[in-house]
């Protein structure tokens, strides 16, 4: 009898082991399904987060300064913002009288945010290219006087042409134009 009882216990235990194994396998499958669903939900959440982030762009161009100069400027700003919003809310990346230096920095950031497909090469930009602004020589009396004389001659020429009076307009006009040419040459440093 002992043999039949132990065979019965072994059969019951085998059934329990088989049931537990089946439950374990079911739980593993459910765990895989749950892990897959969690991954899907995380991916959807990341997409929502990305779409809620504002799209960015880089603006590049000349901006005037209060002293009369224009500096080239690069600004990181929201893609849907106006330039005025970009000026107040954006981030100034670089500013210089050398436009290609600023354009290179702007293009580097454009590449990082995906606006440019190829990474910019510094050798493609002219680091010596200048905006052309020349500081006026306000302290130099000769140049200051020459500028004043030129302005006076231009004013005289304008008045002569507009007056309609019968004077020798040809002679006055030629004299004024000649004086303006001489002053221009002096200002340029030409003999």
C-alpha to C-alpha distances, 183 to 152, 155, 156, 189, nearest whole angstrom? 11, 14, 15, 10
Q: What span, in angstroms and rounded, lies between the C-alpha atoms of 11 and 67?
A: 99
Strand partners, 96: 72
| Rounded Cα–Cα distance for residues 47 and 52 (Å) | 9
Q: Does 131 fall in a domain?
A: no
Q: Is residue 133 a part of any domain in this protein? A: no
> Would 184 be classed as within a structural domain?
yes
Strands (DSSP E) found in 54-118? 56-64, 70-78, 91-96
Comparing C-alpha atoms, which of 175, 145, 146, 150 is closest to residue 160?
175
- Into how many domains does the chain fold? 3
How would residue 96 be classed by pLDDT, with cut points 50, 70 and 90?
confident
Give 78-83's long-range contacts (Cβ < 8 A, gap of 24+). 78/54, 79/54, 79/55, 80/54, 80/55, 83/59
State which of 92, 124, 156 marks the end of a domain. 124
pLDDT single digits (tens) 98-129: 888 899 999 999 999 888 899 998 888 887 77
Same domain, residue pair 152 and 99:
no
Mean pLDDT of 20-30: 87
If you search the block for the tokens 């990474």, which residue do you land on?
119
Q: For residue 132, which phi and psi values (nearest 5 degrees)?
A: 95, -5
Q: pLDDT tens for residues 62-86?
A: 888 777 777 889 999 988 888 888 8
CA distances from 46 to 39, 49, 52, 54 (A): 11, 5, 10, 14
Tell me whether residue 90 is in a domain. yes
Q: Are residues 60 and 117 in the same domain?
A: yes
The answer to whether residue 5 sits within a structural domain is: yes
Distance of CA 13 to the CA centre of its chain: 73
- Are 46 and 98 in a shared domain? no
- What's the mean pLDDT in 147-173? 64
Structural domain of 178: 141-188
Among residues 72, 97, 124, the one where a domain terminates is 124
The answer to whether 125 and 100 have CB atoms below 8 angstroms apart is yes
Q: Is 82 left (phi over 0), alpha (psi -120 to 50) or beta?
A: beta
What pLDDT, on a 0 to 100 scale, did the predictor assign at position 16? 86
Per cent of the chain over pLDDT 70 is 68
Based on the domain organization, do 17 and 41 belong to the same domain? Answer: yes
- Whether 35 shows a pLDDT value over 70: the answer reads yes
| 19 and 78 inside one domain | no
44 shares a domain with 19: yes
Q: How far apart are CA 146 and CA 109, in angstroms?
A: 46
């Amino acid at each position: 009898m002992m043999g039949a009882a132990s065979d019965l216990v072994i059969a019951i235990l085998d059934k329990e082991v088989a049931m537990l194994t089946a439950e374990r396998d079911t739980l593993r499958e459910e765990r895989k399904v749950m892990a897959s669903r969690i991954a899907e939900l995380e991916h959807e959440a990341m997409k929502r987060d990305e779409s809620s982030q504002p799209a960015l762009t880089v603006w590049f161009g000349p901006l005037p300064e209060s002293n009369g100069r224009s500096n080239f400027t690069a600004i990181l700003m929201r893609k849907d913002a106006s330039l005025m919003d970009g000026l107040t809310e954006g981030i100034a990346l670089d500013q210089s009288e050398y436009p290609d230096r600023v354009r290179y920095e702007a293009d580097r950031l454009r590449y990082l945010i995906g606006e440019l497909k190829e990474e910019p090469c510094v050798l493609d930009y002219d680091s010596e290219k200048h905006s052309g602004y020349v500081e006026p020589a306000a302290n130099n009396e000769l140049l200051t006087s020459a500028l004043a004389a030129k302005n006076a001659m231009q004013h005289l020429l304008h008045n002569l042409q507009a007056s309609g009076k019968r004077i020798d307009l040809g002679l006055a006009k030629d004299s004024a134009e000649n004086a303006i040419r001489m002053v221009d040459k002096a200002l340029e440093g030409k003999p």
